Amino acid sequence: MNPQRCSQATAHVAVALALLSFTASAFAQGSANPSTEKWRPVDGFYESPGKNLDSACRKYGVLTIELAENSVSGFEWDCAIDKITYTAPGTIKLNMTCHDINMPASAGPDSSERLFKEVMLLKRINEKSMSVSKTINGKFKGPAWQVAFCPAGVQQAYAAAKVEREEARKYKVPEQLTKPELWRPRDGVYASPGADFNDRCTKSGDVVIGLTDGSVSSGQMECKAAEITITGIASFWIGMTCNRAPGMQPTTLKKKNGEATPEGQATEIIRLRKIDDNTLFLQKTQHNEFKDDGGPVAYCPEEVQRTYAARKEKK
């Protein structure tokens, strides 16, 4: 055979094999079964499917999925997700800690304040719908039901309302403290004046006041401002929610005024009164009682303030 023709034939075979290989690879990628991938439902508002899905979503909304925030909620119940498990293609299991204000009377007089464990199964039907099963008192007692993802307009309205609620909950410096005629202490680290003042300041001081973000802390005790009462041109009280003990973490919830408040926290009061531009009088309750006469604290040097601000920024 002519060597040139042999070389050309070999080249054609090589090109053909390469094309065959590329085509097979592309086909394999394009035909990959999405059901084998780990499916997660889209966060948002869901309702039972039907002709009037849009109006039903706006009026009711049977289920809210927020996996990004480890939260699932429905009509008069809400759950925090403890664990997400992929049990099968297109199916996930949610282990949850829930609060339900409609628990039966047989659950006991304090049932509205109880947290309890539940399980939810979510199974993909298609891109916009899924089946849902949820335990009641730890047991599956009924068939699964189907939900569909609510229309875009509903999702946008829900997202806007959520942002509005979050903004409303954010602490803001009370308007009365922004008036120029009223005294307001500088945010920062304070320590009791005396011979070892600088040393105490360097060790994070005796108290850190942060009215800009509504915080007051002393040692490992951290408090958030809940209410401020003006008692004079240069004095006021702050009602605060504080950790009961250093390192204590909230474990259960109690309903108070329609809102859940973590146990392991207490309401305390701090009194502040101006002495001079760098010093103020401070008195704070312990377990909701004034157990000492309080005393003066002074604003720590700027170097201490910068060090504290840098540490806070890193957290």
Find all residues with CB under 8 Å of 303, minimum gap 6, and list them.
Answer: none
Predicted confidence at residue 114, as pLDDT, reads: 64
Residue 185 phi/psi, 5° resolution?
-65, 150
* pLDDT greater than 70 at residue 14: no
How many Å apart are CA 277 and CA 281, to the nearest integer?
12
Task: Tell me the pLDDT tens digit for each residue of 71-119.
Answer: 998 877 889 999 999 999 999 999 999 876 555 444 443 444 567 899 9
Within a 10 A sphere around the Cβ of 278, how many other Cβ atoms? 13
**Residue 31 — very low, low, confident or very high, per pLDDT cuts 50/70/90?**
very low
Residue 244 confidence class, pLDDT cut points 50, 70, 90 = low
Residue 65 pLDDT exceeds 90:
yes
pLDDT of residue 27: 32
Could you tell me the pTM of the whole model? 0.47
Average pLDDT, the chain: 78
